[in-house]
Structure 1
Amino acid sequence: MALPAKTAPHGSPTLQVSHTENYRELAGAERAAVLLLALGEEHGRKVWEQLDELEVRQVSLAMARLGPVSPEMLENLFVDFVTRLSSKGSLTGNHDSTERILSSFLPPERVSAIMEEIRGPAGRNMWEKLSNVQENVLANYLKNEYPQTVALVLSKIRPDHAGRVLAILPEEFALEVVNRMLRMEAVQKEILDKVEQTLRVEFMSNLSHTSRRDAHELMADIFNSFDRQTEARFITALEEENRESAEKIKSLMFTFEDLGKLDAGGIQTLLRNVEKDKLAIALKGATEALRDVFFQNMSSRASAMLKEDMEALGPVRLRDVDEAQGIMVNVTKDLAAKGEIMVSKSKGEDELVY
């Protein structure tokens, strides 16, 4: 499908789009998606019918992710239609508009399969998509499969992700999978295609239902973003309505006070990554016990200087303290995500890496 486009310096066709003086380049599938959105259901039907299934999937995925399409974009895409199209305003590509257009010419089951793939994990093929599925979800599915099948799947996804999945599988089963992977030879295309199809039908199609986050975990993340006063207000109100849910949310939240659970190495790593002025403000509003945790992990000279800085601050607004403490919590989560420190948000012995 040939679409009008500007030519980039390297010679390949690109389309520059202006959004309040911001520019981005669209790939071929995205240009096709803009054109088909503009043509609409009636005029675009004949174009859709000429595409093969792979092209339909590629254009559908691009259309679902397209977002707002400005009049400038339409003008660059097909100059001869710009007056009529720009007078109707801009277009928006999203999941609903994509599904509606596909439903106008494809059978319902095919539309469902395409939309399920679009809404599923990112990736150009099945193995890339599986590499973006949460390891606990994938492991929970694979533990019921034959070791040879699991070995094939893990050999096709990213090694780091395969390692995390193996670590979750039952030890004896995981060892059998490792042995199968070591003895694995070239796999026939027919077998590979059959495994892909099974994964698509039995696993990926149900993924949206199995990977939903627990509502309490989601609310704990939201509550973490509140300032102290807003958090206290919502927690108090929720305790009156549903004390059980309030307690569960509080147990899942990672707060500034939880920094006291870091080990000595974690505290020292955090200190190296937090600006000294933010540290002083944050500790200004901390409990005496939490201050001592930080002071004890600093040299005598450094702790003395920090105490002097805190005294020199004088009275500090609660809003500024909340902001500084929030920064320290976010830095802690970032460091934990990189594997540089371990954090625990439970009252027991279980440690969780964010």
Structure 2
Amino acid sequence: MPITTFNPGPATTSAAVLMLMFGEKTAADVMRHLTPAEVQHLGAAMYAVDNVTEDEVDSILEDFLGRLAGETGIGYGTSAYVSAVMTEALGPDRAQSVITRISPHNNDRPIELLDWMDARSISELITDEHPQIMALVISCLEYSQGAEVLTKLPEEVQPDVIRRIAQLGPVTPEALRDLEQVLQRKFKASTSSSASQIGGIRAAARIMNFTRSGVEARILRDIRKDDRDLMTAIQDNMFVFDNLGKSDDRSLQTLLRSIEPERLVLALKGADEVLRDRLLSCMSSRAAAGIRDEMEAMGPVRLSEVQEAQKQIVASARQMADAGTIVLAGRGGEEMV
């Protein structure tokens, strides 16, 4: 099945073929139930499909129908059913209070439209706004995307934005509606009946985890001038390369398999012997020996290069932890992620 430069996996390719067979209306209905990331990934896969043979189509359809036959339908429409049962049992007020606490949808970010925008678009949207508005918007993003938006803002406002994120507390629906008005009705209104917890020390720290080493050092240095305690609190909650040694063997094995050997060699050049031995112990003896040989052959390297390699590994570890692929031992009282 020839495709273009985008290279989706077999499952995504199969889904793309099915979408092309469904017809516009049915395919559109399916798209409405996907997340923004899923829409983009599946859309790219649909563009990439080319010259599908009849046998391939038959195989994809057979697999799809087999999976469909195994579905029971239980769970479809669960939200409406649970809401109706709770309301009947508890009354509308108490039911809403319970549903607000237990509904999985309450974990969504308060401004849904942000999910559909890239970092550059968001930064351009808020670059002329007050730093408090910038902080609110960035706090509503995934940490990695928030870091990307932060670095696209003017350098002189970046420390102020991180400072404001670290100091944010619960944000009321009224405040979010004010934010909507400032952004000229481009964002979805918050329908939560309770305050949304965004920002805070840990949010600021995790955004900083995804910034480049030079940017991180500059921002923390600037914050330290005005508020040494705040800088220390943010720093204490950041996950750094040295923290990897506290994680379990299985998580480290999974992480190390995803890291390019060249990047790992560079990162370990700046690690102490205890951490180095800990990480290499989670690899096969042959692979560990290869890493040690490459470290010796590399010779002296710039500290900035080592720090950047460690930063990239930490960012990968954070992303894998957020996805549930691995478990990391944390800092600042945050034992597990």
TM-score band by shorter chain is 0.3 to 0.5
User: Of Structure 1 and Structure 2, which has the larger fraction of its residues in strand?
Assistant: 1
